Amino acid sequence: MGDKNRIYLFDTTLRDGEQSPGVSLNVEEKLEIAYQLASLGVDVIEAGFPISSPGDFQAVKTIAQKVKGPIIAGLCRATRMDIDRGWEAVKYSESPRIHTFLATSDIHLRHKLQISREAALEQAVEAVKYARRFCPDVEFSAEDAYRSDVDYLAQVIEAVIEAGAGVVNLPDTVGYAVPEDFGAFIRTFMERVSNIDRAIISVHCHDDLGLAVANSLAGVVNGARQIECAVNGIGERAGNASLEEIVMALYTRKAFYQKETGINYQEIFPTSRLVSSMTGMLIQPNKAIVGDNAFAHESGIHQDGVMKERSTYEIMSPELVGVFKSNLVLGKHSGRHAFNDRLRQLGYNLDENELDRAFVGFKETADKKKEINDDDLHALVKDRARAVPERFRLDYLQIIAGTRVIPTATIRLAIEDKVFEATATGAGPVEAGCHAIDKITDIYGKMIDYKLQAVTSGKDALGEVTSRIKIGENVYNGRGLSTDIIEASIKSYVNAINKYYYDLTLNSQE
């Protein structure tokens, strides 16, 4: 990390991002996102918090084993037990990092940790020294750094660098900072810490005041060289600094920042959509860079200007970030080759099994829709190609519902090579269908969140349902796609049950 003009992107989508309320990813989903982050070109993937659960440990370990290119980091508290567990997970990576943290603000030391400044300093130094026994790449984070006493924090930074930390992260953990002050905060340590040149200073800003990106960029102006961020800005509470906004600010205003990143810009949009699909967190239409309206112009004056010269109202091209529109329309007579060719143009390189599943979904949809566009294709790939193994598959659905009729659903599920059928009632057609599925599977889920959105426009639009289903103590994200919104809803419930069964199978093998 020697180039002074190079900004390193530390992606925490799979750790802090997964801590977003309602988000729960299984190992396969995390691995899929990690592969895409590698394609995007992030420098560091924080794959999880290994000691927090067996599932998180397995996810970090699997990503370390399989994903090549980026540094793979695991988060650990400043204890030997955490660091041991973290190293067990990340040691398989070609470039592992142990990321250990301890709070340094008096608020945290008094009320949460109930230890003195002196004890915290000693614990931080010991943790870094211990981590260095395993791994040459160690990062230390001073939790709640921005609200810490400056003199004390300077002492901590100098001590952990001396102990062997190659990266020191100074986060605005609660999103309290404003850009001018946060920039001065970073500059203070660049000037006061005697051995600061031996480490990379990192920033990790939360968005509680909507200033995470601005604060992170202020940190860069004042000497920070690593930015910790998440795709779509997901994360605890109001979220993290948005990776795509950070990257495009540095690119678009390169003359001002004079910094480089290693990002493959055309992977920004596909990465955003994958994370949205996997987490079930929809992207607001006016979201910068990746929202549906980011490159839309409705005003007549704006439309006229863009048609004459794009730069009148666009400071970046949609193609640069991976937003492509094609005049090629696929339909029910389109073949597998044309289908695969278009997927490749959209950035998908599917293996044979994934392509087979996606093509089956394409043909089923093409029988219901006259034309299939790019948005439909994105949805189909997410729905079919990258799903967990289907223990349970919806084979047949019949709904009876009306204003004066008790909603009744008859469901037929295929389980391996057998078909089972049940009928149930409910307050509505979706609940009736879920009850019928419960009867067949003997797995009882509780729907705690439900979102429906149209993938495209028109009466025959594909409807995409994302739901959160609680089964036992765990919550699973379900996803279903169909031109029939009831069918999409039922498929979403079945998808969540398949994820539950998949996790059950993995746990029984351990």
Helix H, strand E, coil C: the string for 375-415 is: HHHHHHHHHHHCCCCCCEEEEEEEEEEECCEEEEEEEEEEE
Q: What percent of the chain has pLDDT over 90?
A: 66
Structural domain contains residue 3: no
**Residue finishing a domain among 369, 385, 401:** 385
Q: How do residues 338-362 score in pLDDT, each as one tens digit? A: 888 888 777 677 788 888 888 888 8
Same domain, yes or no: 90 and 190? yes
Q: How do residues 49-95 score in pLDDT, each as one tens digit? A: 999 999 899 999 999 999 999 999 999 999 999 999 999 999 999 99
Q: How do residues 289-336 score in pLDDT, each as one tens digit? A: 998 888 765 455 554 554 566 666 677 888 888 886 655 567 777 888
Q: What is the span of the domain harbouring residue 301?
A: 295-323
Residue 386: per-residue pLDDT:
59
Structural domain contains residue 402: yes
Structural domain contains residue 287: no
Same domain, yes or no: 363 and 462? no
Residue 384: per-residue pLDDT:
62
Same domain, yes or no: 307 and 365? no
Structural domain contains residue 303: yes
State the CATH number of the domain containing residue 485: 3.30.160.270
Positions in the chain whose pLDDT score sits under 50: 298, 303, 306
Same domain, yes or no: 411 and 505? yes
State the CATH number of the domain containing residue 153: 3.20.20.70
CA distance readout (Å), 370 to 330, 332, 339, 459, 461: 9, 7, 15, 11, 10
Query: What's the rounded Cα separation, in Å, for the pair 495 and 59?
Result: 20
Same domain, yes or no: 367 and 404? no
- Give the predicted TM-score (pTM) of the model: 0.84
Same domain, yes or no: 101 and 167? yes
H helices of 164-267, in order, are: 179-192, 212-221, 243-252, 254-257
Query: What's the rounded Cα separation, in Å, for the pair 139 and 100?
Result: 6
Structural domain contains residue 486: yes
Same domain, yes or no: 93 and 175? yes
Query: What's the rounded Cα separation, in Å, for the pair 163 and 170?
Result: 17
Structural domain contains residue 348: yes
What does 417-465 look like in DSSP terms, one character per residue? TEEEEEEEE-SSHHHHHHHHHHHHH----EEEEEEEEESSSSTTPPEEE
Same domain, yes or no: 35 and 182? yes
Query: What's the rounded Cα separation, in Å, for the pair 362 and 342?
Result: 12
Residue 390: per-residue pLDDT:
85
